[in-house]
């Protein structure tokens, strides 16, 4: 069994295959055994569970997942890494490598093909440039997942776990917390990677909710209101909705809706809770239904 958390072993494998990191793919391989262990623990896997790993690199985390889960599917976009993974994972009969872009893959179909009715968690060291699109795909498609455990840029993790009122709180916060309960697992120093990134990282666990955090009349309208409310952070909720949310009647209509939702029009979007955004979007929905 080839364990890759030792930096010298990782370098040996990279040199053996003549692999060169592509900056545009955001490739940074984990070489810290302590962080690796925390990621696996946060995934809460048992021998009957399944795991999907996005971006396995040379298989460092994949090996650790394979020793805990019943079945692991590793999705790798870079075709240069496929022969490396075939070598580093050849002793793990419970691992399948799927070559493709996770943003283009039919994940329910992949789960059905590889994992069946196992409880499934997603684990990933995500390239920072594509973190949000991947997370939103996992959340919005309502894939039946137990948890998502990802390594992301420090500022992104702080936004996902933020509470109302702070500068980190925004549209991403609302989206993530609508579908899941975020918990920061640990901070990750730059020295935990090869090559070292220019930013600090955080491992965050997202426990998927059985149903969204709030009930709303229209989910699409809810997110439309949220997006408009954060369009210009320094402006009030009244100004943001007036300027960025399409509603007949303009300012007077927005004022009426805010009053009905019991929200001060002079507040900023970053101070509103999920429950208040739900009340606000429902008032707009009722207005549409009545028109």
206 phi-psi bin (left φ>0, alpha ψ -120 to 50, beta other): beta
Cβ–Cβ under 8 Å, residues 45 and 121: yes
Is position 101 annotated in a ligand binding site?
yes
How many C-beta atoms lie closer than 10 Å to residue 229's C-beta? 27
Q: Do the annotations mark residue 30 as ligand-binding? A: yes
Q: Which helix (H) or strand (E) holds 279?
A: helix 274-290
d(C-alpha 81, C-alpha 85), whole Å: 6
- Tell me how far CA of residue 193 lies from CA of 25, 43, 45, 125, 203, in angstroms: 15, 20, 24, 11, 13
Query: Which are the contacts of 42, defined by CB distance < 8 A and separation ≥ 6?
Result: 147, 149, 185, 203, 205
Residue 125 in marked binding region? yes
Q: Would the annotation count 100 as a binding residue?
A: no
Backbone angles phi, psi at 53, to 5 degrees: -110, 130
Q: With contact defined as beta carbons under 8 Å apart, do 219 and 213 qualify?
A: no
Total residue count of the chain as it appears in this document: 291
Strands 29-30 vs 193-194: parallel, antiparallel or unpaired: antiparallel
Phi, psi of 222 (to 5 degrees): -55, -50
Could you list the residues known to form a binding site for S-adenosyl-L-methionine, using ranges: 28, 30, 55, 76, 101, 125
Could you list the residues known to form a binding site, using ranges: 28, 30, 55, 76, 101, 125
């Amino acid at each position: 069994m080839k364990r890759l958390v030792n930096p010298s072993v990782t370098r040996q494998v990279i040199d053996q295959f003549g692999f060169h990191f592509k900056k545009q793919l955001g490739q940074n391989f984990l070489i810290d055994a302590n962080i690796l262990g925390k990621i696996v623990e946060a995934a809460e896997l048992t021998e009957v569970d399944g795991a999907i790993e996005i971006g396995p690199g040379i298989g460092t985390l994949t090996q650790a997942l394979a020793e805990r889960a019943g079945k692991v599917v590793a999705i790798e976009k870079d075709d240069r890494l496929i022969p490396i993974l075939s070598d580093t994972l050849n002793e793990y009969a419970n691992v399948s490598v799927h070559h493709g872009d996770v943003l283009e893959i039919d994940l329910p179909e992949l789960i059905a093909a590889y994992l069946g009715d196992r409880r499934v968690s997603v684990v990933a060291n995500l390239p920072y440039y594509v973190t949000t699109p991947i997370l939103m795909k996992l959340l919005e498609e309502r894939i039946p997942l137990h948890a998502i455990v990802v390594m992301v840029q420090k500022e992104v993790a702080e936004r996902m776990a933020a509470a109302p009122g702070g500068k980190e709180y925004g549209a991403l916060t609302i989206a993530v917390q609508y579908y899941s309960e975020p918990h920061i697992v640990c901070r990750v120093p730059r020295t935990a990677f090869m090559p070292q990134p220019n930013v600090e990282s955080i491992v965050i666990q997202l426990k998927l909710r059985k149903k969204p955090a709030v009930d709303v009349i229209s989910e699409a309208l809810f997110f439309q209101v949220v997006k408009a409310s954060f369009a210009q952070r320094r402006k009030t909720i009244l100004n943001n909705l007036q300027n960025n949310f399409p509603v007949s009647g303009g300012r007077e209509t927005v004022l009426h809706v805010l009053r009905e939702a019991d929200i001060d029009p002079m507040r900023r979007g970053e101070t509103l809770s999920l429950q208040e955004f739900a009340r606000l979007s429902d008032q707009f929905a009722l207005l549409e239904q009545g028109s």
